[in-house]
Amino acid sequence: MNTNILLIEDDPAVARSLQDGLTRDGGYPVTWKASGAEGIRYAREQNPHLIILDVRLPDGSGFDFCRQMRQLGLRQPILMLTVQRDETDKVLGLEMGADDYVTKPYSLRELLSRVRAQLRRAYGELSSADADLLHAGDLVIDRGRGQVWRNNQLILLTPTEFRLLVYLAQHPNQALSRTQILDAVWGYDADVDSERAVNVHIRRLREKVELEPSNPTLIMTVPSLGYRLVS
């Protein structure tokens, strides 16, 4: 796959460094846009495979642009760059539809690892020729096409939400810990922030697949452990 990455970053020095590093060490062509509006325009026209989005942009907040992209139907992985170590900012990014985040300062190695993980999960094992269908309640999950349907109506999920639902559906009625979910869906070691990220994505997933998100009947909470999908 000839992967195209969109970088939305207002600092030219940071952007050039990331372009050079991702191309040299990762082999990824990177298109740079310096504002959120330019980035959204490019994403709609060119449909890049992955978007790296800075939180602080000259024409608005990266959180708002992330939400706009999801509202426009852009489903590719979004990885947010933030200088904030505040947990609130991290959770907010995930609530706006981001799939992952990296906190500045970060190493190129860490960023590449996150990029590769997102691309592998979005276009690799879950987008292979394996078109077997999974069923979760009245949902039909098509792993080959990366789609979820209810009564012939398509439900739009982000790549991370889709991976999360697939993993739960592959283990029906089984109580899964947040650590297990993190390892299977994100692929990195759990910490407090990471486990809370699971909670955020579960909440967003419920909003899309539960008939009554405030009273879920499909994805249930297992107190002090994690979650269970009811078959």
| Sequential pLDDT tens for the chain (231 residues) | 568 899 999 999 999 999 999 988 888 899 999 999 999 999 999 989 999 999 999 999 999 999 999 999 888 999 999 876 666 667 778 888 899 888 888 889 899 988 988 888 777 654 443 447 888 888 989 887 788 999 878 999 988 899 999 999 999 999 999 989 988 888 765 555 678 889 999 999 999 999 999 999 999 999 989 999 998
Q: Is 105 exposed, middle or buried (0-12, 13-18, 19+ CB in 10 A)?
A: exposed
Domain boundary among 64, 97, 123: 123
Write the CATH number for 107. 3.40.50.2300
Q: Do 135 and 109 share a structural domain?
A: no
Contact between 112 and 26 (Cβ < 8 Å): yes
Contact between 17 and 32 (Cβ < 8 Å): no
Specify whether the backbone of 88 is left (phi greater than 0), alpha (psi in -120 to 50) or beta.
Answer: alpha
Contact between 144 and 151 (Cβ < 8 Å): no
Q: Do 151 and 96 share a structural domain?
A: no
Q: Do 107 and 11 share a structural domain?
A: yes
Kindly report the length of the chain.
231
Phi, psi of 156, deg, nearest 5 = -85, 120
Give the sheet arrangement for strand 5-8, strand by strand: 30-33, 5-8, 50-54, 78-82, 100-103
Position 214, amino acid: S
Domain total in the chain: 2
Q: Is the pTM of this model over 0.85?
A: no
Alpha-carbon distance 4 to 108, whole Å? 18
Which residue range is the domain that position 136 belongs to? 128-229
- Cα torsion angle, 188, 194, 197, 199, sign: positive
Domain boundary among 123, 140, 165: 123
